[in-house]
């Protein structure tokens, strides 16, 4: 049984190699028109950018929320590109002190788009500085300590903040409220991923038919980053095999990399394995799960669970995580007579 839970982390959208970063850069759509799917978000963003252009002002601050690999960084780049503004990229973990943020904010040029990835991981002290910066384009810099401390106000160039988060629930309300627009990115449908893949295959010069692309798409966890990554593996397989990127080649390549027909990877299988085998289907608390699979609770919550819930293998209940009937069935295990089912609760 445990063999079923082994395999490569090929479908973990959080893991990115250097080569992949370069590869992704080449595939990133540059305009909203080229950006596939997320129709509603695209329409809302277009309106926001058009209104700002008509009034000749910086677009409102934008929060992009959703699991990794769905296109948050790409959208931030598109916002800058479409509004013809420069872009500065940083991330929450790089801002560990208010001073780190002050350095970035005070060096922005007028109209610049500031992208803060993983904004929920920024230091608290910096968050408070950001409130004022977002609202009034001003920060107060504290000089000195104790009774002699004074604050020096510093005016900033107007800018547009684009924040990205996989955990919007972790953002304090005062920060969330200061974004003029929040976009919740959804997992992509298979047909949308086929369009992402058609574009990528063309850019990479990989001749491949729609049926083969459909097979890659359906094993990509609803995530463009994973779809593009699997396409690369299929390209390698076809190159070495010499038989072209056929449907059979796709199946053989993805089976070789242990990506099953639903796109589950090692971590997904480990999480389901613990719930099914060790806890009779659950309920299991998040921290217990995280310790059992040797992964951070945040990764389980932001990366693994949303997809398992979306495809109906797992249910989140107030008492913990519970395998659904489909969850038992997918792993070919007989349902335990005493088990609680996520879909029965
Ligand atoms: N809607 C889309 N259409 C075409 N390609 C896309 C789309 N969304 C994402 N991609 C591609 O998927 C890859 C990952 O996208 P991106 O880096 O923007 O994701 P992300 O949500 O910012 O992930 P993370 O939060 O992990 O940084 C990029 O190569 C990008 O080109």
Q: What local confidence, expressed as pLDDT, does residue 271 receive?
A: 94
Please give the number of the atom of ligand 1 that sits closest to the Cα of 185. 21
pLDDT number for residue 308: 95
Pocket residue to mutate for ligand 1, from 19, 203, 224, most atoms within 8 A of Cβ: 224
DSSP state of 206: -
Q: Is 319 annotated as a binding residue?
A: no
Distance from residue 224's CA to the centre of ligand 1 (Å): 6
The whole-angstrom separation of Cα 6 and Cα 269 is: 7
Residues facing 161 on adjacent strands: 114
The residue annotated as part of the active site, out of 58, 90, 160, 166, is: 166
State the ipTM, two decimals. Answer: 0.95
In this prediction, residue 151 carries a pLDDT of 86
Q: Does 268 participate in catalysis according to the annotation?
A: no
pLDDT in the model for residue 9: 52
Q: What are phi and psi of 317, to 5 degrees?
A: -125, 165
Residue 10 confidence (pLDDT):
64
Give me the pLDDT at residue 5, please. Answer: 37
Q: Is 179 within 8 Å of 163 (Cβ atoms)? A: yes
State yes or no: 316 annotated in a binding site.
Answer: yes
By most ligand atoms within 8 Å of CB, the mutation choice from 14, 37, 69 for ligand 1 is 69
Under a CB-based contact definition with an 8 Å cutoff, are residues 10 and 268 in contact? no
DSSP 117-158: ETGGGS-HHHHHHHHHHHHHSEEEEEES-GGG-EEEEEE---
Clarify whether 225 is annotated catalytic.
yes
| Residue 260, SS3 per DSSP | coil
pLDDT at 265: 84
Specify whether the CB–CB gap between 303 and 12 falls below 8 A. Answer: yes
Active site residue 40: no
Q: Which residues, judged by CB distance below 6 Å to any ligand atom, belong to the binding site of ligand 1?
A: 24, 27-29, 35-37, 68-74, 117, 164, 196, 224-225, 228
Is 69 flagged in the annotation as binding?
Answer: yes
156 neighbors 106 (Cβ within 8 angstroms): yes
Low-confidence ranges of the chain (pLDDT < 50): 1-8, 345
Q: How far is residue 69's CA from residue 166's CA, in Å, rounded to a whole number?
A: 10
Is residue 72 part of the annotated active site? The answer reads yes
Q: How far is CA 325 from the centre of its chain?
A: 28
Handedness of CA 280, 283, 285, 286 (dihedral sign): positive
CA of 13 to the centre of ligand 1 (A): 10
The β-bridge relationship of strands 150-155 and 138-143 is antiparallel
90 is catalytic: no
Assigned token pair, 330: 């997918």
- What would the pLDDT profile of 191-217 be if each residue is shown by its tens digit? 999 999 999 999 988 999 999 999 999
Triad 120, 121, 122: Cα angle to 5° = 95
Which domains are present in the chain? 38-184 (3.40.50.300), 190-256 (1.10.8.60), 266-344 (1.10.10.10)
Query: What pTM does this model have?
Result: 0.85
Query: If you measure from the C-alpha of residue 73 to the centroid of ligand 1, how many angstroms do you get, rounded to a whole number?
Result: 6
CB burial class (10 A; 0-12, 13-18, 19+) of residue 299?
A: middle
């Amino acid at each position: 049984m445990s063999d079923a839970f082994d395999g490569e982390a090929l479908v973990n959208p959080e893991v990115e190699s250097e080569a992949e970063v370069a590869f992704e850069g080449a595939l990133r759509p540059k305009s909203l028109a080229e950006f596939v799917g997320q129709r509603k978000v695209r329409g809302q963003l277009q309106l926001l950018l058009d209104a700002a252009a008509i009034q000749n002002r910086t677009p409102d601050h934008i929060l992009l929320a959703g699991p990794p690999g769905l296109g948050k960084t790409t959208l931030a780049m598109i916002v800058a590109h479409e509004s013809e503004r420069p872009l500065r990229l940083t991330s929450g973990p790089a801002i560990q002190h208010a001073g780190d943020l002050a350095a970035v904010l005070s060096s922005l040029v007028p109209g610049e788009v500031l992208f803060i990835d993983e904004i929920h991981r920024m230091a608290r002290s910096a968050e408070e500085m950001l409130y004022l910066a977002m609202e009034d384009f001003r920060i107060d810099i504290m000089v000195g300590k104790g009774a002699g401390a004074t604050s020096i106000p510093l005016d900033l160039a107007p800018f547009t903040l684009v924040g990205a988060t996989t955990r919007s629930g972790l953002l304090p309300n005062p920060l969330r409220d200061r974004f003029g627009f929040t976009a919740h990115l959804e997992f992509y449908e298979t047909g949308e991923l086929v369009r992402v893949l058609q574009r990528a295959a063309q850019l990479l010069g990989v001749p491949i038919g729609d049926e083969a692309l459909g097979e890659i798409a359906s094993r990509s966890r609803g995530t463009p980053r994973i779809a593009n990554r699997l396409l690369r593996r299929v390209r390698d397989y076809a190159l070495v095999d010499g038989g072209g990127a056929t449907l059979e080649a796709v199946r053989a390549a993805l089976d070789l990399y242990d990506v099953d027909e639903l796109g589950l990877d090692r971590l997904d299988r480990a999480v389901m394995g613990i719930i099914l085998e060790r806890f009779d289907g659950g309920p299991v608390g998040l921290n217990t799960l995280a310790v059992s699979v040797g992964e951070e609770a945040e990764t389980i919550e932001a990366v693994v669970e949303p997809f398992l819930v979306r495809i109906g293998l797992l249910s989140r209940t107030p008492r913990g995580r519970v395998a659904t009937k489909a969850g038992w069935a997918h792993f070919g295990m007989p349902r335990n007579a005493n088990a609680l089912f996520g879909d029965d609760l």
